Amino acid sequence: MEGLKVSNANLVVYIHPSKSREFSQALLRELSSLLFTYNESFDGVVLAYDPDMFLEGKVVKLTQESIHVVVLGFSSAIITEKFIRDDLVYKTKRGQNVYASKSHKRHVIKVGAMIRFLVKSFDEEILHICGSLDPDHTGSINWLDKKSEIVFDTDRSSKKRQSEAEPLILEQDAVVGERARVDGVQKIKNSKKLKIRKEF
């Protein structure tokens, strides 16, 4: 197709420190944000990138053999049965055809749902995409977002419990030459008392 070209580019991606553990996902999210928008660096619209590109689109049709998706309202994508992981099973639920997860009952893909999928191939001539739901971090965006919030909350609460369980060691008893152990709760109570005393 005339007007399409392949460009190589070196990009600098700034990632928030909170996303440092999920570096590859943050990088892919940043690259995905460049898709289908005009970019001055490329002097055009970015249609695809390598490696492992993930796209998001709206499900318009479900069959036992495939899932049909529209990306940004104009590019069509298909995910065939061989690229749908075994955990997602086609069934009829409440009179509606869906792909439902065997292991997570709330993970459901139905017509009208937004999904995230891996791009297997991209036809530049007709702007057609073949996708895959094989990776674990693909599927219904609604469910993936809720799942990541749960994992984030779980990580945060487990770190909090872990820090509460570990006693703090203070090196304040220089005269005796021993280290004093203080629990986190005790330290908080003492610091509140000190603040009150300092105010008077």
pLDDT attached to residue 88: 93
What confidence tens digit (pLDDT) does each residue in 16-74 have? 777 767 767 777 777 778 888 888 877 788 877 767 778 889 999 999 999 999 987 88
> Distance of CA 127 to CAs 70, 77, 121, 172, 196, Å?
11, 9, 10, 69, 68
Closest to 113 (Cα-Cα) out of 70, 146, 154, 79: 70
Q: Which CATH topology does 17-148 take?
A: OB fold (Dihydrolipoamide Acetyltransferase, E2P) (2.40.50)
Domain spans of the chain? 17-148, 167-200
92 vs 11: CA distance, rounded Å: 45
Instruction: Band the pLDDT of 83: cuts 50, 70, 90.
Output: very high
* Cβ neighbours of 67 (radius 10 Å): 27
Q: Are 122 and 48 in contact (CB under 8 A)?
A: yes
- Phi, psi for 152 (deg, rounded to 5): -65, -45
- Choose between 61 and 166: higher pLDDT: 61
The distance from CA 96 to its chain's CA centroid, rounded to whole angstroms, is 27
| Residue corresponding to tokens 């009150």 | 196
Predicted confidence at residue 179, as pLDDT, reads: 44
